[in-house]
Each structure stands twice: as C-alpha cells, then as structure tokens.
Amino acid sequence: MAKVIGIMGESGSGKTTAMRNLPPAETFYLDCDKKGLNWKGWKSQYLPLANKENTDKGFYLSNDNFSIASSTLRHINEDERFKRIKYVVIDTLNGLMVAEEMRILAMQSGDKRSAWSDLAQNGWALINQALELREDLTVIILCHSETISDDNGIIRTRIKTNGRKLEKLVLESKMTTVVWSVRQDGKYKFILSADGCTCKVPLGAFDTDECENDIMIVIKALEEY
C-alpha cells in the first residue's frame, strides 16, 4: 500500500512550491491545473511524458482528465519504465474535478445527473487507487481548501470538493497525513495540527504543530516515524 499525503491550501499558499525539493529523477508530476510549476529551473528538471529521451529527469504530464490520471497511476505502478519513480504528485485534485464539472455543464445530450454522480465517484476512486499502488510509492495530492461555517455556526477549514456527495464522504478520511499550506506574516509554512481544521499527522511524527513549506520535511518525518 502506497503512502498518500494530502496538502490543502488556498491558491497562492505555496502548495506547488513546496514540491521544489523532490528528487526529479524519482518523481512523476501530474499537472492537473495545466499551469506549469512555479520555481526557477523546473523545465530543466522535468521532461514531458511524451519525450522518448533516455534520461534521469523527472516525468511531467499536463492533464485534467480523470481517466487519463487513473491510467497514468496504473502505468506508474506496473510499467518497468517507471520503476525508478518513488514520488507521484497530483496537482491539484480540484483541477480534475473542475475540468470534469465544466465538461458536464457543456454536455448537449446524455444524463447529467449520472455524470454528476460520476464526478464524486471519480474523485473517491482516484484516492483509493493511489492507496493501492506499490508500497515504495508516496503519492502527494494537492487540494484547494475552504473555510466553512456549519449549521451550528462552527467554522472549520477542510479540503474543498465539488458536489455534496464528496463533502459527505470526507476525502481527508482516506489519508493519514493532511497538511495545511498557508502564508502568514509574509512567510510560507505547513500547519500540521490546528483547531477548526482537518489537517492531521500521525501521533508523535512531529514535535511541533507547524513546519517549513517543504514536502521533503514531511516525507522524512514520516519515514522516520
């Protein structure tokens, strides 16, 4: 079973930038927002998946389709070409959900109600698929966050989802580690535990409730746990 780490945060909170220190040669980057990466030199670290050059650079795929994302995970898990891959980034799950939502809204025919059900099923299924990948893989799923107030007036921050079905399922329940990426006082950091937030880490894995905005710090702490 693969390790699955969730990173949630608002746009501009440093989610993508936190991936900057992943070893490219061991990383497959699935860019579901189709925006490219946002640190200097990333294009020299990652090559498009279609590139056939025999290289030790990272793999990069720009895609916002659930079926392609799912087949990509399957190939990473089974294809000899990807045996060197230890880290898979899905950036962002919301990019997949929003693109699917736009395709549903654009439908001229067909059962839209069934399509909306498929949206929830696809999001849930992708996380389950990630959990079932080979044991030496770490899948990092980037998500947007939202702060909501429930019927009792309780305010909380959680992973933002498209559709009420996924809200009821609670995506965080499928992950043992969910960190909250924030920008406070001009500094970017990860919140590991906080009241009114669904972020969480295994008990005893960290000595503090926050850390630097760097996914490798989280990965190392989990490996030593």
14-38 residue pLDDT tens: 999 999 999 999 999 999 999 999 9
Mean pLDDT taken over the chain: 91
Class of domain 3-224: alpha beta
Q: Tell the residue number behind the tokens 């499928």, with chain if given.
A: 174
What angle is formed at CA 135 by the lines to CA 33 and CA 141, rounded to 5 degrees?
20
Q: Report residue 123 as tokens.
A: 């999001």
> For residue 135, what pLDDT is reported?
97
> For residue 112, what pLDDT is reported?
60
pLDDT band at 76 (very low <50, low <70, confident <90, very high): very high
CA distance 27 to 20: 11
In 3D space, the residue among 43, 13, 22 whose CA is nearest the CA of residue 137 turns out to be: 22
> For residue 181, what pLDDT is reported?
98
Q: Which helix (H) or strand (E) holds 100?
A: helix 93-105
Q: Which of 5-9, 116-120, 208-212 has the lowest mean pLDDT?
A: 116-120
Q: Tell the residue number behind the tokens 């020299």, with chain if given.
A: 44
> For residue 79, what pLDDT is reported?
95
Dump pLDDT digits (tens) for 94-104: 999 999 888 87
Residue 126 CB-density burial (10 A; 0-12 exposed, 13-18 middle, 19+ buried): buried
Q: Provide the whole-model pTM.
A: 0.93
